[in-house]
Copies of this chain bind each other. A is one copy, B any other.
Amino acid sequence: MKTEIISKNTLLEHWLGHRNLTRQTIDRFPEEELFNFKVEGMRPFAAMVKELLGIAVPGLQEIVDNKSGELDENLNYSTKAQLLQAWDEATPQIIELFGKIPEERFTEEFNLFGQYKSPIIHSILYFIDNEIHHRGQGYVYLRLLGIEPPFFWERE
């Protein structure tokens, strides 16, 4: 027991703020380019978003159930509206599942997706960092398309 530098709820709020910004980023893409525009050697932004969706709720569910499963990022969303709807539906699930992880478990090891064994806090920071990483890439895609990305600090 120590003075905590960040509470569980503050970390969740921080992630949800990032998710708001990612949602705005998805929304800036024209439908066609969201699914088809890409830089050589990379994926379209929609594929990155499917990866994020395949990680967040399923990853938290595994942690809550304390039972490893398989990573599936090939989700069947083919329109921007479907992708945004999936994004919005994930939000209350993230809030509920995150809330079910007791503080004591964050420092415990868990074998995420049966292949990434690390303390739970590392997995959760990975979820957030990976989202920021891919969204940063989405910003460059938008710029290449001549579209202004949302402000990085707009999290509401």
A41 CB, min distance to chain B CBs, angstroms = 5
Contact partner of A143 (CB less than 8 A), chosen from B40, B104, B129, B134, is B40
Residues of B within 8 A of A119 (CB): 10
CB-defined contacts of A136 to chain B, threshold 8 Å: 132-137, 139
Residues of B within 8 A of A144 (CB): 39-40
For the complex formed, measure the closest distance between the CB of A63 and the CB atoms of chain B, giving whole angstroms: 13
Binds B, one of A1-9, A70-78, A86-94: A1-9
Contact of A3 among B42, B103, B130, B134 (CB under 8 A): B103
Chain A interface helix/strand/loop/mixed = helix
Q: Which residues of B are found within 8 Å of A135, using beta-carbon distances?
A: 133, 136
Question: Chain B nearest CB: distance from A143 CB in Å?
Answer: 5
Q: Count A interface residues, CB 8 Å.
A: 40
A81 in contact (CB, < 8 A): no
- B5, A11: Cβ atoms under 8 Å? yes
A10 and B125 CA atoms in complex are apart in Å by 11
Within 1-47 of A, Cβ neighbours of B (below 8 Å) are at 1-8, 10-11, 14, 18, 39-42
Instruction: Digitize A87-128: 1 where CB-to-B-CB distance is under 8 Å, 0 elsewhere.
Output: 000000000000000011011000000000001011001000
